[in-house]
Structure formats: C-alpha cells, structure tokens
Structure 1
Amino acid sequence: MKLISWNVNGLRAVMKKIDINTYVQETAADILCLQETKVQDGQVSLQPEGYHAYWNYAVKKGYSGTAVFSKEKPLHVLYGLGIDDHDQEGRVITLEFEHVFVVNCYTPNAKRGLERIDYRLQWEADFKDYLQKLDRKKPVILCGDLNVAHREIDLKNPKANRKNAGFSEQEREAFSALLNAGFTDSFRYLYPDQEGAYSWWSYRTNAREKNIGWRLDYVIVSDRLKQRISQAAICADIMGSDHCPVEMTVDL
C-alpha cells in the first residue's frame, strides 16, 4: 500500500496551482489523505478517476476539514472520534479495510502562547485512546498533520521554539506517549538521523527556500507493521501549500 498525506492549507487555493487529479494518478498512490481542506460540501469538484472519496467538513466554514481518496473501497468509514467536543472541526476520517485501519488526522494547533494547550492535551489523550482501541482489532496506519515537531532534529531552530506551539514539552511528551503505546514513526524508522527533513515552512522570510522548516506531517504505523515499511519520503519539491506531501509504502 502506498499512502500519501498532505496538508493543503486550503484546497481551493491549491487546486489553482496544481492539478491534484493528475498528481494522484502520477504518484500511483493507493490512498491520498488531505488535511486542512477548508471547504464545505459542494464547494469543490475533486474526484480522481478510480478513487472512492470521503470528506469530513468542519461546522465552521473555511476551517479545518479532511478528505481521503482510496482506490479500494473500505469496509467501513468513520468520521471523528465519537466525542462531540472533538468532532465539530472535521479533523478525523477512519477507513477500515480487511487487514488494517487507515486514519487521516489534522491535529488541533495549540495556538500562539499555547492558549489552546489544555484542549490540545485532552485531544491527545482521547486520540491515543481511540487509536489503541483500533489497534486491538487490527493494525493501524495513522497519517496527517500532527502539529508537533517531535525531536530537536525535526525543526531548524529548536532552542528558539521550546515554548512555542508545536514544540512545547507538553506536545512532544504526548507524541512520545503515543509512540510508546505501540506505534512507530515511519520516516524516523528508516531515517533515524536525517537532518533538514521538514514538511512545513513559514510563508515569511523565504523560509522554504532557506529550508528553515518543521517536520509536522507524519505517517505512523502500529509497531507490528514497521518491518514491512519499504519506503518513506518527504516530497519537498511538491509546491502549492506551506506543507508538502509525505509518503509511505508498506507491504500488507
């Protein structure tokens, strides 16, 4: 299974810059997961040939949202976590297949000054519990913008960002807790020491050109799948958003 995850930061804007239908066909992805689509039902026409499409829209217009395009029709599709406080922003889509769950997630941002950190940590606890329940049934592949740079190697300027959203101790510890609960970061499994591997760059100060970035986008797998990972990549050459796509191929 080849899976691609991409925070498009506004699907309508990205579709003016790149032909996503052509992109997904050229990549030969089995599953394409998008985050931060920022659309409502009927606002865009995107249906790659040969793919089944699933959308989760935020209640608030122009905000958050996720989408999944899958060659194989899943057995079941779940939207959200089943917790009302978390399910207003269209952040999670779960596809159940015969041998695996695929979860597309756009994790809430803790915001400037960590003003939303309490909610973020509650989300982290509830989301970990959700993934563990799935994992008890069959292996899980989680992908998306998880809004955290886990280790110092995962962002350009760690010292300057220790108390900022996405690199706070609380968020990093929550991510470690998820991995310690039986999950593996596919990119770091294959490339534990690779530096300069980022998936998000600020639009300011030519950050992308200078590669002053953060690795916020992940494909995570249940530990029992990690030895089946054959490829993991960060596709920094794909433009159109302040994030770039990330990929993983796993033998199921």
Structure 2
Amino acid sequence: MKFISWNVNGIRACVKKGFIEYFNEVDADFLCIQETKCQEGQIDLSFEGYHQYWNYAEKKGYSGTAIFTKHEPLTVAYGVGEEESESEGRIITLEYDTFYLVNVYTPNSQRDLARLPKRLDWEDKLSAYLKELDSKKPVIYCGDLNVAHEEKDLKNAKSNIGNSGFTFEERGKMTELLHAGFTDTFRHFNPEKEDAFTWWSYMNKVRERNIGWRIDYFIISNRLVEHVRKTDIHAHVLGSDHCPILLEIDVD
C-alpha cells in the first residue's frame, strides 16, 4: 500500500498550487494532510473511490488534519483527549484489520518556546496513546511532527540548537518514542543521508538553496519494518512550504 503525508499549509491555497494534480498523479491508498486551515464547508474536495475524514480546528484558518483513503476503516477516532489542543484538530486515527494509521500535526513550541511545556505534555500523552495502540496491532504514525531529530535532519544544526523544533527536550521525546518500539522509516533506510529535508522557510531562495529541515515523518511499529518497500521525500513537489513524503509498505 502507498501512503503519503503532506503539510499543505492551507488546503484551499494548496489546491490552487497543484494539490489535485499531485493527488491524481501519486494515486495513493492513503493521503494524509496537516495544517488544512479550513472549516467544514469551506472547500469541496471529492475524489472518486476515496473516503475522507476531517478533523477541523475550532479556530478559523488554523491547524486541522484530514485523511483521504481508498480503504474504509473499521473505526475513526479524533484526538486522544489531550484537552489543551483537542480543539485544534490535530489527530485522526483510522483502524484497520492489521494496523492503525495515526495522522498528526504536532503543535509548535513557538519561537520563544512559550509553548514548550505544553508541547512536552502533548508528546507524553501522544506517546502513551501510540504505545497503547501498538499493544493491540501495529501502528503507522505520520505527519508534521515539528522536530528535527538529529543534526543531519536540518541544514544549520549548530546555530539552531535550542531553537523551537530543535530543543534537546523535543528531540529527547522523539528518541524516547523510537526506543519504545518504533522506527523512523526514512532514517532507517537512509542512515547517513544528509540534505534530505521536508520543510523550508519562505525566506528568499531558501528552498532553492535547500536550506531546510526534515520535520515530517512516517514512524512505524518495529515489527512492520521488514514489510517496507520504499520510503521517499518528494522535494520536487511545490504548493506548500513542506513537501510530501511517501511510504510503501505491505500491510494487507
């Protein structure tokens, strides 16, 4: 099965920049998006053969997630009872016979790290949730996780140490999750690869010079690793300040 994850930074804007063309071209079984920035009824997207599930933020033009899938799930869940950010539409879980799919848009710690304590609390609740799911069946966890885990996951690591998305605390939470039975698929198959990024600032020519961060992930239960066929970053795809990422895996 083919999975795509993409922070579209506003689905209405992204549709005007090639989203539908990419959707049709990639022909994924599952296409997960983050930062939809819309409310119900503000956009009409219909793709033949696909079910769609949306988690809208209460605040207009903010956050939000959605999943388009060819496969109707057994159950659908929104959020994990994380209270502070539950209203921000950040989590969708689809359950299938052999796995769970969890699409997530992780909250940013903010430039001054004002939201870091809440972010770390979020990480703890989400980690507990993922481990609970994993005790039942394997998990495919994807999305914009707003952290560059290792120094090779961003261009200018030294000058960014301690900044939002690259604090020791945020990186530590990622490490804890991976040690709890999960695998970062891209890094597993590309352990030494550098300059492989998924987000670039809109500042002048930053993307052209590939000064970016890898903050979008497919993280899976360890026991699924042997079933991975391919993992990739579609850096050539524009339409957002993030690019889509791909996972092909046998989970039928």
Asked if these proteins are the same fold (TM beyond 0.5), I'd say yes
Task: Answer whether contact 2:201 2:207 (CA < 8 A) is retained.
Answer: yes
Describe the SS at the equivalent of 2:72: coil
Q: Letter of the aligned partner of 1:13 in structure 2?
A: A
RMSD: 0.8
1:48-63 paired onto structure 2 within 5 Å = 48-63=47-62
> How far does residue 190 in structure 1 lie from its aligned partner after superposition?
0.8
Q: Quote the residue 1:85 is aligned against.
A: 84
Q: Is the 8 A contact 1:199 1:243 kept in 2?
A: yes
- Which position in structure 1 is the counterpart of 2:227? 228
Q: Which amino acid aligns with 2:17?
A: K
* Structure 2 unmatched ranges of 5 or more: none
**Unpaired runs of at least 5, structure 1:** none
Matched, 1:206 2:205: yes
Do residues 16 (structure 1) and 16 (structure 2) align? yes
1:231 counterpart SS class = strand
The aligned runs of 1:144-159 (5 Å cut-off) are 144-159=143-158
Corresponding letter in the other structure for 1:149 = A
Alignment length (residue pairs):
251
State the match for 1:217 in structure 2: 216
Q: CA deviation at 1:113?
A: 1.6
Aligned-pair CA distance for 1:126: 0.3
2:172 maps to which residue?
A: 173
TM-score, L = length of structure 2? 0.98
* Sequence identity (%): 56
Q: Distance in 1 between matches of 2:27 and 2:188?
A: 23
Cα separation, 2, equivalents of 1:193 and 1:50: 39
Q: 1:12-161 alignment to 2 at 5 Å?
A: 12-20=12-20, 22-161=21-160
Task: Please report the TM-score for the alignment, with normalisation by the length of structure 1.
Answer: 0.98
1:223-247 Cα offsets, whole Å, 9 max, x none, are: 0001111100000000010000000
Distance in 2 separating the partners of 1:163 and 1:170: 9
CA distance in 2, matches of 1:11, 1:46: 10
Pairs within 5 Å for 1:187-206: 187-206=186-205
> CA 1:180/1:13 → structure 2, altered by over 3 Å: closer, same or farther?
same
